[in-house]
Amino acid sequence: MTTYHVRPVEPTTLKGLRSADDAGRRMVPVTDDEGGAPLRCCLRRSAPGERIALVSYAPLRRWAAENGADPGAYDEQGPVFIHAEECAGPDGEEVPFTNAHRVVRRYSAQGHILGGRLVEGASTFTSAFREAFDDPAVAVVHVRAVEYGCFLYEVRRA
């Protein structure tokens, strides 16, 4: 059985995104009056009053650069929420953001999409990750929101 690791946006990447995001824009911090934004730095929802920012992030592009892959047309960037200042990161190893429909998207070592699966509920995520990593062609998995298509987090073999 393959084990896996849920990964937030890396601290060194976050530091860069706070200067200029993957679209070349500078970060514009705001106070989140309502709370509830899915933070990709610590994999939890924001609390009312926290300083956050919406930045453009290209997760597959960054993974591909790290792994010598060329995702070609599969390269994409999109909006993600992060803390405006450095945070402590995730608290624990549980799978985050399981309370809504999500897509578990599988990618090859070349950075090409191999397929996806619609999931909802923690037990469904576990089986979707197991199914993905039982396929030796799968190199990395992204979890995305259905309603907006936004990247939530990356999953890799442990």
Kindly report, residue by residue over 50-86, the tens digit of the pLDDT.
999 999 999 999 999 999 999 999 999 999 999 999 9
Dihedral pair phi/psi, residue 62, rounded to 5°: -70, -45
Q: Give this prediction's pTM.
A: 0.93
Strands (E), 40-147: 44-45, 50-57, 78-83, 102-107, 113-119, 140-145
Closest among 65, 85, 51, 52 to 22, alpha carbons compared: 65
Residue 2 has pLDDT above 80, yes or no: no
Q: What is the pLDDT of residue 68?
A: 97
Average pLDDT over residues 26-52: 98
Q: What is the pLDDT of residue 149?
A: 87
Q: What is the pLDDT of residue 50?
A: 98
Q: Is 147 left (phi over 0), alpha (psi -120 to 50) or beta?
A: alpha
Residue spans per domain, the chain: 4-83, 102-157
Q: What does the pLDDT look like over 82-121, one tens digit per residue?
A: 999 999 999 987 899 998 999 999 999 999 999 999 998 8
Average pLDDT over residues 30-38: 97
Q: What is the mean pLDDT of the chain?
A: 95
Q: What is the pLDDT of residue 92?
A: 83
Q: What is the pLDDT of residue 118?
A: 96
Helix (H, G, I), strand (E, B), or coil: what is residue 18? helix
H/E stretch holding 6:
strand 4-7
Q: What is the pLDDT of residue 148?
A: 87
Closest among 48, 46, 53 to 30, alpha carbons compared: 53
